[in-house]
Amino acid sequence: MFAAPKGTKDVLPPEAWRWQWLTRLAMDTFALAGFAPVVTPDFEHTELFERSVGSESEVVTKQMYTFADRGGRSLTLRPEGTAPVMRAILERGLERGALPVKLAYCQAMFRYERPQKGRTRQHLQLGAEGIGSENPLLDAEIIELSTRFLTTAGLKPVLLLNSIGHEDPSCRQGYIKVLSGFLHEHSAELASADRARIDTNPLRTFDSKEERTLAVMRDAPLLSDHICAACREHFDAVRGALEDLEVSFEIEPRLVRGLDYYSRTTFEYQVTGLGAQSAVGGGGRYDGLSEALGGPRLPGIGFGLGVERILLALESVGTFADEPASAVHVYVVALGERAQRAALKLTTDLRRRGIGADFDVMGRSMKGQMKDASRSGARWAVILGEQEMATGTATVKDLESSEQTALPLDEVPGAVQA
């Protein structure tokens, strides 16, 4: 017998109904804001992620599923969705059409991580990207959209917000020098893994899980005190627009996020009840990403939300905003060969009219079929027996009230509409 690979799992009903409900809600909510769906390949050239997510990032150095295909190419299972979307836009020249390009996705991501609650090696991510504008109103639009979706789904996450400035000596590059200086001064107090990163990726020390490093970081100089005037002005405009929209947020000057393409606005949604994996989603601007991939200047912002974590968080809250129910509305019960053929015909007729219907193919007894009808979640049972076949009628039973009536067969669809 085989088991699913470590860190992966099957999603079976009834849980799978929740997945479907959540992903539909997301894609419908995003579509109402003008985000069209996009599907990119599940694997890309490895270099795409090295150049965007960053060759020093945790994702690239430790978590990628990278393999050589039979043609000797180095390919990687998509660990995140933003770089592939940008690659697709640049490859197809969408940036020469109407801007911003607004795209949304619901795709699997693959990261080789130590599995634990809310952390798997394959996860499903809901994301949206708005590309082609630096306007802080786009930031507010995107952040309001992800917040509204999470709220509609039934969560009350805390929205953490920060600006990490932009790649420039007058801004983040200048700050990184200040931060490296501070870390070198305190290097003896840092955990060894964090000490090793001082010159390659000092910002990551804010995300360290080591208590001794975090104690040092409490006194570290903050990026928000060092960003340039233009970035500060941009951030003030984002905050003002979010206040206009009554989206509440907390400024978190230590929020750095794990992917190197971010610039300016960054944000994350935190929930309680998930243990260590408290982020249900996050996002930010990536104004330099297109250029890092060899494209023109094409600033953008987006977010990614983890389906598994959202559902875990909803379970811990104990309620689903809109509990998905079975789609089967009518169950046709039939006894005898003739009645069974008629049952398939009636079931099909109902389905063609858009009414969810099912029938028995297991040769169950009448009692067994009635049991299966209630298991299916149907509101109505339509009974076709010998007597009904002889008279061209059916017995329609309301499974909620147990009331039943005999009707001519052609009146059945009308009777079970409700």
Q: How far is the CB of 324 from ligand HAM (least distance, A)?
A: 21
Comparing CB distances to ligand HAM, the nearer of 108 and 370 is: 108
Q: If you compute the radius of gyration of the chain from its CA atoms, what whole number of angstroms results?
A: 27
Identify the CA nearest to 382 among candidates 401, 406, 353, 352: 406
Choice from 136, 288, 302, 356 touching ligand HAM (CB under 6 A): 302
Closest residue by beta carbon to ligand HAM: 306
Comparing CB distances to ligand HAM, the nearer of 129 and 252 is: 129
Choice from 284, 288, 299, 356 touching ligand HAM (CB under 6 A): 284
Whole-angstrom distance, CA of residue 282 vs CA of residue 80: 12
- And the tokens for 366? 């009448």
CA distances, 364 to each of 220, 359, 369, 388 (Å): 71, 10, 6, 18
* Contacting range for ligand HAM; rule: CB under 6 A; set: 120-128, 194-202, 227-235, 388-396: 120-128
Choice from 172, 306, 339, 350 touching ligand HAM (CB under 6 A): 306
Whole-angstrom distance, CA of residue 256 vs CA of residue 175: 13
The answer to whether residue 299 forms part of the interface with ligand HAM (CB under 6 A) is no
The answer to whether residue 18 forms part of the interface with ligand HAM (CB under 6 A) is no
Q: How far is the CB of 215 from ligand HAM (least distance, A)?
A: 25
Comparing CB distances to ligand HAM, the nearer of 176 and 279 is: 279
The answer to whether residue 303 forms part of the interface with ligand HAM (CB under 6 A) is yes
Whole-angstrom distance, CA of residue 261 vs CA of residue 277: 22
* Contacting range for ligand HAM; rule: CB under 6 A; set: 213-221, 299-307, 324-332, 371-379: 299-307
- Give the contacts of 160 (CB within 8 A, at least 6 positions apart): 249, 250, 251, 252, 255, 267, 268, 269, 270
Contact 86, 293 (CB under 8 A): yes
Total binding residues toward ligand HAM, as defined by CB under 6 A: 27
Task: Sketch the per residue contact string, 224 through 263, with ligand HAM: x for CB under 6 A, - otherwise.
Answer: ----------------------------------xx----
Whole-angstrom distance, CA of residue 130 vs CA of residue 101: 6
Tell me phi and psi for residue 69, to 5 degrees.
Answer: -85, 180
- Give the contacts of 278 (CB within 8 A, at least 6 positions apart): 270, 271, 272
Parallel, antiparallel or unpaired: strands 380-384 and 330-334: parallel
Specify the DSSP element, H or E, that contains 154: none
Sign of CA dihedral 172, 175, 179, 185: positive
Q: How far is the CB of 26 from ligand HAM (least distance, A)?
A: 13
Enumerate the β-bridge partners of residue 279: 270
The answer to whether residue 129 forms part of the interface with ligand HAM (CB under 6 A) is yes
Choice from 78, 102, 119, 172 touching ligand HAM (CB under 6 A): 119
Choice from 52, 76, 120, 224 touching ligand HAM (CB under 6 A): 120
The answer to whether residue 329 forms part of the interface with ligand HAM (CB under 6 A) is no
* Contacting range for ligand HAM; rule: CB under 6 A; set: 112-120, 171-179, 287-295, 314-322: 112-120
The answer to whether residue 100 forms part of the interface with ligand HAM (CB under 6 A) is no
Q: How far is the CB of 140 from ligand HAM (least distance, A)?
A: 15
Whole-angstrom distance, CA of residue 20 vs CA of residue 37: 16
Contact 274, 313 (CB under 8 A): yes
* Contacting range for ligand HAM; rule: CB under 6 A; set: 90-98, 203-211, 296-304, 350-358: 296-304
Neighbours of 416 (CB within 10 A): 22
Choice from 123, 166, 239, 397 touching ligand HAM (CB under 6 A): 123
Comparing CB distances to ligand HAM, the nearer of 129 and 372 is: 129
Q: How far is the CB of 124 from ligand HAM (least distance, A)?
A: 8
Q: Give the HSE-up count for residue 317: Cα atoms under 13 Å, Cβ half-sphere.
A: 17
Comparing CB distances to ligand HAM, the nearer of 31 and 407 is: 31
Q: How far is the CB of 157 from ligand HAM (least distance, A)?
A: 10
Nearest-10 crossing angle of helices 136-153, 15-32:
150
Q: How far is the CB of 292 from ligand HAM (least distance, A)?
A: 14
- Considering only residues 65 through 94, tell me which ones interact with ligand HAM, judged by CB under 6 A: 80-82
Binding site for ligand HAM (CB under 6 A): 80-82, 111, 113, 118-120, 123, 125, 127, 129, 258-259, 279-284, 302-306, 308-309
